[in-house]
Every structure is written in C-alpha cells, then in structure tokens.
Structure 1
Amino acid sequence: MFSVQDAEAKILSLTYPLDPERDRQWMSLDEAEGRILAAEVQSALDFPYWDNSAMDGYAVRTTDLTTCSAESPVALEIAMEIPAGYHPPQGIAPGQAARIFTGAMMPPGADAVVIQERTQREGDRVFILERPEPQAWVRAKGDYYRAGAPLLYCGTRLNAPEIAILATAQCTPVAVYRRPAVSLLSTGNELVTPEQTLQSGQIVDSNQPAIAALVRQSGAIAQRLGIIPDERDALKAAILGAIATSDVVISTGGVSVGDYDYVEEILVELGGTLHIQSVAVKPGKPLTVATFPNPDPNNPRSILYFGLPGNPVSALVSFWRFVRPALKKLSGQSRSWGPTFIRAISRLDLKADGKRETYLWGQLVLRSDGTYEFDLAGGSHSSGNLINLANTNGLAVLSCDRPRVEAGEWVLVMQVS
C-alpha cells in the first residue's frame, strides 16, 4: 500500500506533458482563456509603446524649473494640449509647457510632468508651483517590457491578466496545447443514469456527472462513455475503446475485492502495467493506477488509467488528491501541479482513527484578519454520503501522527475549489 505522498509522486512520475509541437493549436485571444501556452511568446512592441504621462498635468522641461517653488513659481507658455491617443505635432521649446492627460504621448523636449494640483493656470500660461525631478510622472518607452524579450513562457495558463498582456502586446493568435481527452466510465449493474426511473435496489450514478465536471474544471475534455455492466466482455470492450481514443481513462467502481470487481484483471489482460492498487488514505483506499502504451507508435507518452472507488465521496477525494495534479502536468502546465494546502483554525473537534491519512470535508472561511477557519461539514462523514458535500471547498488533513485536532487548533486544509 502506498502512502499518499508516495502515490502522488508515483503518479506524477508516470505523467508526461503533451508535446508542444504535436499537440499545439493556434487560438485567438477570445478562444484562449484557460488554455496553456505551448510556446514562449515575444512581442515586437515595447511597452509602454512610447513615453507617456502617468497623470493629468503639464509636460515640461525640468531645465526651465530649477528654481521654482510655491513661493517663487515659474510661468510657462502653454504651447499645446495633448489628449490620450493624440500625436504631438511638435515639441516644446524652452519656456513652454503642454497640457497633457493620463496616457497621452509626451512631446519632444519634455522630460517630466507636473501634476495639475501643483500648478495654477491663467489663460495661456501655467504657473508651476513645484520643481519636478527629471522623468517625474513619466512612463518611459520600454520601461515595463522590451521588444524581443520573453513575454510569457511555455506552460503558462492564460487567465485574464495573461490575456490582457497578450492583447496589449498584440500577440494574437497564440499557440496553446490542445485539451487532454479524458474518457469516463462507471461500472456496476446497480447503476442508472439521473434521467432513468429508479427501481428498487438501484443506485443513481452521481460519479460520472461529478467527475466530468471536475475534468472540465481541470481544462480537459470529458468523454462520457456511460454505465458499463459488471460483465467482463462489456467492460473489456469499453476500456479497450477508451484507451484508443483518450489521453486518460477514469473508471469508478470495480477496483475493490468483490466478486464483480474485474477492472484490474482486465487492465493486465489488455497489456496495461499496474503501478498502484491501494493507498493509505481515507476515504479512497482502493485506487488503481495503470499505464498503457500509446496507440500511436510515434508517440512515447503512455495512456494513464485511473480506477477510482465507487463510493461517491471516495471518488471525488481521489480525483482532487491524485487525478487533478496529473491532468495539470499532462496539459502542459509548467508548475504548481499539486494541491494547495492552507493552515486554518478548526471551528470543531476533528478526529480520525490514525490508521490512514484522513480527509474531512467542509468549508474554508476567510476571516477579517486574513487567516482562515475550517468548518467541518455536518452529518455523517461516510464515503457514501455525498449530501453534506454541498459547498465543500476544503479537505482537512489528519495525518497518522496527528489524528485529532481540537477546536481552536491549527489544521492543514487542502483547497478543492
């Protein structure tokens, strides 16, 4: 049985990113949100594009103002007005100033801006009440970025700030990794879909819709293959088809020790290599991880297979803890594959049996002082009870060395949203 940390390390060692050449797509900025850059981006533009004013005021020559002060202001002729988006037709001469607005292009000859609060205007003259330093309130051309330098690196996730950077640098379209294809199947004769009429003894399959949502949230494509009965031939055919069309296959159920748990036998029959069969974690002990040779003989990257437990909470915890990091690495994301852990103060007593690393679900709450509290979900913490998972955004981690946490004590919490 693997420890949680060893299982995570093993899974990431088996995961290889998509190829930046073979798996590249070109996207407009409107399409690229949430995608991962497949190549370093450079721009042909400096940023700022040219010297411009950081404030409303007056563009001046500092050599004209070496002796000015509030007690002894210097009067300058207002030679022009420069709004944003306007190219100054000429520079300013000694003894002149230009009325200028935030973002507007500095005129030749000017080397500073005096903010309007430090001036007094009288007709076509302005009295400067404060001596500015050279480059005061000036955003110099190329001060933030020089053309040709790396702008964003391969493996960067494109969220709103990165989209803004690419837009201002006119880097469009951009090369991004394709989304990994993840096939999902649920196993069990007892399962029905949420749309079917529930008969006595049956169970509605909540795993496939939930895991599909998590797959999409992880930036991958969820290919739902439906419910597969506990029949060897049907399950074998479904897994074989999934391997041929996916980067990752995820099944729920059929990985324990029951008479109808065929998954691991079938994986071996199909040429898979089993790497993990159980993890010392609660919930989620029966976790199967296998790899298959890529159907494309020119592609050395293996196909990953995750066999998750059938109990709904176990399936979700297993995905959050082990599958999501693998999908992040597979998608080409350059770093931060693993979960984010936060120290929080527990509002309630927390306890586990100390035999396995235990994850208890609940809510992280940010306090006014910037620290977090963890509020344990009410009701049973059975792996079959998904009802109290509503609004879960954190899992409190109780290690074997520290199976009890008293109310008011610090606890490590894994963020899940």
Structure 2
Amino acid sequence: MARVSPGESRGRSHRHAGHHDRVAQDNRTPPLVPVEEHQEHVASLLRPTEVTRSPLEECAGLAMARDLVASIPLPPFRNSAMDGYAVRSVDVAGASPDRPVRLPVTADLPAGAPEVLPLAVGSAQRIMTGAPLPLGADCVVPVEHTDGGTREVAIGLAPEEGRHVRRAGEDVPAGTTVLRRGSELGPAQLGLASALGFAELPVRRRPRVVVLSTGSELVEPGEPLGLGQIYESNAVMLVTAVREAGGHATAVRFVPDDVGALHEAVRPHLADADLLLTTGGVSAGAYEVVKDALAGEGVTFTKVAMQPGMPQGSGRYRGVPVVALPGNPVSALVSFEVFVRPALRRAAGFDVTDRPRSRAVLEGAALSSPSGKRQYRRGSYHLETGAVRVVGAAGSHLLSALAESNCLVEIAPEVTVVEPDTPVEVLLLGGPSRTGGGPGEN
C-alpha cells in the first residue's frame, strides 16, 4: 500500500513523466487512460479562435491577441499632483508657518485649461490636480499649506524641486509594451489602454460552447417534482463555468434519453459552435443516450484513471469538437476543471490556462484513495495557515461539499493513504481563500 505520511513529500506526478504508462487492469478490460493523456487529447480538439478588434467596453475577460505598445507617454505632460499653487522652489525657500512667503497669484489653472502662461519669477499660479504645470514652475505647494488666497497667497511651506509634480512619461514612457499577448483584460488593463488613447484592442473571440444536458428525469427548477424526477443543475453549473473560463455558453437542456431527440436538439447549434459539451449518458448503463448517439459519429468513450469522473468521451461530431462529461454533478464540474477549462482558455488565447496550485498541509483525518487513480477531493484551503481540510465525503453526487470548497485536493495515482500533517497539492478554484479560524473550522 502506497502511503504518504508526515515528513514525506509525495505530490503530483509531472505531466511528462511517464504519462503514457497505462494503469494495470485485468485481461478483460482495457487499461484506464492517464489523466494527463486525456488532458492533451481534449486540448488538441480545440483550435485558437480568430483575432478581432473590439471596443474596450466589449473586451473585459478576453485575452490580448498581440502586444500593445504605448504610442504616447503617460502622463502625456507635466501636471500637478495636488490642488495648490505652482511656484518656483527658489521663490519659496525658507517659507514656514511662522514666516510665510507672500506671492502674487497671476493665473488660475483648472484641469483641462486651454491656455497655460509661463510662470513669472516671484509669482504663483493657483492650480488644480491634473492641470498642466506652467513653464518655469518646478513644484506645487498644497493648498493646506497656504491661506488659499486668490490675488495674493501666503505660503508656509518650502517644498523641494519636483515636489507634487507628475512628470511626463512617469507612469509609462512612449514605446513601452504595456499589455502582453495572452494577458487577461480586466478593469485595470482596460483603464490603462483607454488612458493611452486606444479605443479598441486586438483580442481573441470567446470560444462558443453548446452545453447539452440530457436525462428524462430532469425537471426545470421551480416546477413540481414527480416520482423519480430531479431538478436539472448541470447545465447552469457548466454554463457558469464556461463563462468564468472566458467562453460564451448556450444551454440545451431537458433533452430526453432518446437518440433521435438528442440529434434534433443539438443540430441547430452546431454551425457556430467551437465545442459541444455534454453531461450525462456516458457510462455503462442501459440508457446512456450520449454514448448511444455519438459513439458511431466520431466520439470515443473511455475510462480515465481518476476519481471522480472516470467515464469520459471526446472526439468530433459532424466536425464539431465534443467533450462528454459524466452526469453526476461533482464528476461533471471536476472533469470540467481538469480537462475542459485549460483547453478553453488556451483556445481563447490566454497565457495562463491552468488554475493556480499550492502545497498545503492536510488537517483532520487520514485520506484513502484508490490505487491507480488520481483522486480529487473537495477542500477548504486556509491562506494564512497554509493548511487544507477536506470537505465532505468522496461521493460524486455530494454537490453541497463542492459548493463549500475553494480548492481540490489532488492525490497522485500511486498514493493510497495520506496521513494528517502531510503536504498535499491543492488546485485553487478561484473562490475566497479562508483567512481565519482554527483547524476545526471549514
């Protein structure tokens, strides 16, 4: 029995370290596909989306398709960092609250002033934050250190040259690469692009994903449940996951367990789809509609050496890439995180495609894991302590535990037991890291 105990660092296998080796099975069943191999296959199905030029307000969450170079400096001119008075430092040398220097005020300079006259020796100009600094001025005295005069001002501070002055190009010199290809565009990045005068940016289009949820037992939330029926949840879960990953998602829901109905449901959506993402109907039961409909249409169904999420499908259906996920909600979302999200982000042009990872110390009880499978357990990661506690049992139907989690604890295929106080690898899911609480708080 392979075991990880305190003091022994035994984490995730490297992606290219023997990932073609198959997990041993008996002679009657095909070997399980390693996680890394299925990741690479799914990634190979999706092609990069085309480059478009989009207005800034439509670029949030997209990836830069090319480097962006500043054509102007930022700030584009010298300007005041404070509301106050533009002066020559030599004219106010020695000024103090007890012995202020008095200067005539020769102009008012609001931000956006259409005309700025040079500053005469021995004078001051009242200036607002962001207004161009007049020629001859080399510092700004904040209004708090003056009497606020409009014709003559008493200055009680002797600032040094350059004080409270923003130099041209201080933030960004012209010719600087400000946004790199593959970077994700958020509020700060779009604000910078706008400040540099760019009205649109070269970005990659969002991958268009059709999310298909099958099952005759599924009912729309809000409707009454009949015997044997459950509320449909996978579609909204996966649509949200696709959008969070940078894609555009369309849901096709409530498709019954009928091969003909499945083909009819997806046909109108295929022309514009970059990916058909299905959930359910891929295992070994008698009514596996996705498997029955797509197995002879270019989609291969296999078993991957992971828990949860062993049954998987992938390939092309009428020219459209297909990834078929299991129907249990935890299996579906974990499989999305492991296989689909990185492939989608790569197709969308993002430089960073994988979730961040961290090493954490396992708290609580020991964990068991099936030999030969990479296990993913839901976890609560504490940023301040660097500890992680598993949330809930391993069952793939236990969605509430996943909703409480902010990470997945990844256990390598060769490890069957992980003891408490052992370092483990965690996949951070983007939710808030827990910052408080002791070992018993989730």
Q: Which residue of 1 aligns with 2:184?
A: 157
Q: Distance in 2 between matches of 1:56 and 1:36?
A: 38
Q: 1:195–1:77: structure 2 CA closer, same or farther, 3 Å change rule? A: closer
Q: Is 347-356 or 144-153 further displaced after alignment?
A: 144-153
8 Å CA contact 2:146, 2:153 repeated in 1: no
The one-letter amino acid of 1:411's match is V
Q: 1:185–1:59: structure 2 CA closer, same or farther, 3 Å change rule? A: same
Residue 61 (structure 1) aligned with residue 88 (structure 2): yes
Q: Distance in 2 between matches of 1:96 and 1:25?
A: 50
Q: Is 37-46 or 135-144 further displaced after alignment?
A: 37-46
The one-letter amino acid of 1:168's match is A
Q: Which residue of 2 aligns with 1:297?
A: none
Q: Is 319-328 or 240-249 further displaced after alignment?
A: 240-249
TM-score, normalising length: structure 2: 0.76
Residue 336 (structure 1) aligned with residue 364 (structure 2): no
8 Å CA contact 2:299, 2:313 repeated in 1: no
Q: How far apart are 1:336 and its partner, in Å?
A: 0.8
Q: How far apart are 1:310 and its partner, in Å?
A: 1.2
Q: 1:131–1:258: structure 2 CA closer, same or farther, 3 Å change rule? A: closer
Post-superposition CA distance 1:240-259 (Å, at most 9, x none): 55543411111112222233
Q: Distance in 2 between matches of 1:396 and 1:253?
A: 24
The one-letter amino acid of 2:398's match is N
Q: 1:88–1:266: structure 2 CA closer, same or farther, 3 Å change rule? A: same
Q: How far apart are 1:188 and its partner, in Å?
A: 3.3
Q: Which residue of 2 aligns with 1:300?
A: none
Match of 2:324 among 303, 307, 318: 307
Q: How far apart are 1:17 and its partner, in Å?
A: 1.4
Residue 362 (structure 1) aligned with residue 379 (structure 2): yes
How many residues in Structure 1 have an aligned counterpart in Structure 2? 396
Q: How far apart are 1:181 and its partner, in Å?
A: 1.8
Q: Distance in 2 between matches of 1:409 and 1:70?
A: 63
Residue 27 (structure 1) aligned with residue 40 (structure 2): no
Q: How far apart are 1:339 and its partner, in Å?
A: 1.5
Matches within 5 A, 1:357-396: 357-367=374-384, 371-378=385-392, 380-396=393-409
Matches within 5 A, 1:262-301: 263-264=290-291, 266-270=293-297, 272=298, 274=300, 277-291=302-316, 294=319
Q: How far apart are 1:226 and its partner, in Å?
A: 2.0
8 Å CA contact 1:362, 1:374 repeated in 2: yes
Q: Distance in 2 between matches of 1:255 and 1:242?
A: 21
Residue 136 (structure 1) aligned with residue 163 (structure 2): yes
Q: How far apart are 1:5 and its partner, in Å?
A: 3.1
Q: Distance in 2 between matches of 1:73 and 1:150?
A: 48
Q: Distance in 1 between matches of 2:50 and 2:336?
A: 24
Q: How far apart are 1:269 and its partner, in Å?
A: 2.8
Matches within 5 A, 1:124-203: 124=152, 126=154, 130=158, 132-133=160-161, 135-147=162-174, 149-203=176-230
Q: Distance in 2 between matches of 1:343 and 1:81?
A: 58
SS in 2 for 1:269: coil
Q: 1:240–1:277: structure 2 CA closer, same or farther, 3 Å change rule? A: farther
Q: Which residue of 1 aligns with 2:49?
A: 18
The one-letter amino acid of 2:368's match is A
The one-letter amino acid of 1:124's match is E
Post-superposition CA distance 1:131-179 (Å, at most 9, x none): 614x333211122224565443444332111232233234224454433
SS in 2 for 1:287: strand
Q: How far apart are 1:52 and its partner, in Å?
A: 1.0
Q: Distance in 1 between matches of 2:299 and 2:255?
A: 22
Post-superposition CA distance 1:253-293 (Å, at most 9, x none): 222223333545643532x264x723221111112221357
What is the RMSD of the two structures over their aligned residues, measured on CA atoms?
3.4
Q: 1:261–1:91: structure 2 CA closer, same or farther, 3 Å change rule? A: same
Q: Distance in 2 between matches of 1:194 and 1:98?
A: 66
The one-letter amino acid of 1:359's match is Y
The one-letter amino acid of 1:376's match is V
Q: How far apart are 1:340 and its partner, in Å?
A: 1.6
Task: List runs of 5+ in structure 2 lacking aligned partners.
Answer: 1-31, 431-442
Q: Distance in 1 between matches of 2:65 and 2:157?
A: 53
8 Å CA contact 1:398, 1:404 repeated in 2: no
The one-letter amino acid of 1:416's match is L
**Highest relative contact order (Cα 8 Å, sep 6+), 1 or 2?**
2
Q: Which residue of 2 aligns with 1:9?
A: 40
Q: Distance in 2 between matches of 1:221 and 1:363?
A: 29
Q: Distance in 2 between matches of 1:121 and 1:207?
A: 64
Residue 323 (structure 1) aligned with residue 354 (structure 2): no
Q: Distance in 1 between matches of 2:159 and 2:277?
A: 68
SS in 1 for 2:209: strand
Q: 1:97–1:73: structure 2 CA closer, same or farther, 3 Å change rule? A: farther
Post-superposition CA distance 1:22-43 (Å, at most 9, x none): xx363352x4333344555456
Matches within 5 A, 1:213-252: 213-238=240-265, 241-252=268-279
Post-superposition CA distance 1:3-25 (Å, at most 9, x none): 333333333343321011xxx36
SS in 2 for 1:277: strand
Q: Is 344-353 or 246-255 further displaced after alignment?
A: 344-353
Q: How far apart are 1:213 and its partner, in Å?
A: 2.2
Identity of aligned residues (%): 33
Post-superposition CA distance 1:289-341 (Å, at most 9, x none): 213574xxxxxxxx3211101111101111122111122122232x1111122
Q: How far apart are 1:98 and its partner, in Å?
A: 3.3
Q: How far apart are 1:208 and its partner, in Å?
A: 1.8
Residue 108 (structure 1) aligned with residue 139 (structure 2): no
Post-superposition CA distance 1:36-92 (Å, at most 9, x none): 445554565431121012234543335657x75879989463444434343563111
8 Å CA contact 2:46, 2:274 repeated in 1: no
The one-letter amino acid of 1:199's match is G
The one-letter amino acid of 2:43's match is L
8 Å CA contact 2:312, 2:325 repeated in 1: yes
SS in 2 for 1:317: helix
Task: List runs of 5+ in structure 1 lacking aligned partners.
Answer: 295-302
Q: Which residue of 1 aligns with 2:365?
A: 349
8 Å CA contact 1:289, 1:305 repeated in 2: yes
The one-letter amino acid of 1:341's match is R
